[in-house]
Amino acid sequence: MSNYQIELEITGPLKTNCYLLYDKESKEAALFDVAGEIGKHLKTIKNENLTVKYLFCTHLHFDHVLGVKEVRELFPDAQLACNEKELDVLENMGKFARIFQFDPSSLGKFDVYIEDNQSFELGELKIRTILSPGHTPGSICFYFEDRLISGDVLFHRGVGRTDFYGGSFSELEKSVRNLFTLPEETVVYPGHGEMTDIGSEKRENPFISSRIL
C-alpha cells in the first residue's frame, strides 16, 4: 500500500471540499476542486516540500473552480485537468457565476482532458478515473486504494442536483449504481459535507437505496 496522505480544506462561498493528496515518498501532489483560498493546503505544500503535479476538477461548476486561477499562478507547472464535456458546462454557468463575479475565461486552457478509466500517478500512488455523468455531463470521480473523491456525484445520504445545465437524474442514477460496485469499505470524500462510505450509502442513501440495485 502506498504511503500517501489526503487532507481536506473547506473553501469558497458554498463550502466546497478541496482535497490535497500526496505521496509521502516522491512528494508529488494533486489538488482537487480548488474553490477558493487554500491557506491550509499551501502551508502543507510548503512544509512538506511538495510538488503539485495536477490540479484536478471533478466538474466545472463555478463553486468548484473559483480558486483555480490564483493557484495556477502559484504552480505554473501543474497540469489542469477535467473531462472535455465540462467545457460546455463552463460556458453555461449562468447567473450564479455572475453573482460571484466569476469569469470562466480566467481558468485559461486545460492541459489534460480526462477520460473514463484513465490512470494518473503520484509517485507510487495510482489513481483511476471513473466518468460519472448526471450532475454534469463530464463529472469525474477519482478512485485510489479504497478511497473515492466523488465531487458532487455522491454525498453522505445524498446525490448531486440535476436541475442545472446538462444535468440528468437517469444518468446520475446509473453513475451512482456504478460507484456502488466498488468495495463497501471504500471511503467517500464528497464535494460538500461529511465523508461517508460505499456500504452505508448502498443501504441508507434515500435517493438510490430504495431502488433495486
CATH no. of 4-204:
3.60.15.10
How confident is the prediction along the chain (213 residues), in pLDDT tens digits per residue?
Answer: 569 999 999 999 999 999 999 999 999 999 999 999 999 999 999 999 999 999 999 999 999 999 999 999 999 999 999 999 999 998 887 666 777 778 888 899 999 999 999 999 999 999 999 999 999 999 999 999 999 999 999 999 999 999 999 999 999 999 999 999 999 999 999 999 999 999 999 999 999 965 544
Helices (H), the chain: 39-47, 68-74, 86-91, 95-99, 169-179, 198-204
**CA–CA distance, 139 with 164 (Å, rounded to integer):** 13
pTM given for the model: 0.95
Instruction: Specify the pLDDT at position 171.
Output: 98
Phi, psi values for residue 102, rounded to 5°: -95, 130
Instruction: Specify the pLDDT at position 211.
Output: 55
**CA–CA distance, 191 with 107 (Å, rounded to integer):** 19
Instruction: Return the domain boundaries, the chain.
Output: 4-204
Instruction: Specify the pLDDT at position 199.
Output: 96
Instruction: Specify the pLDDT at position 104.
Output: 85
Instruction: Specify the pLDDT at position 98.
Output: 73
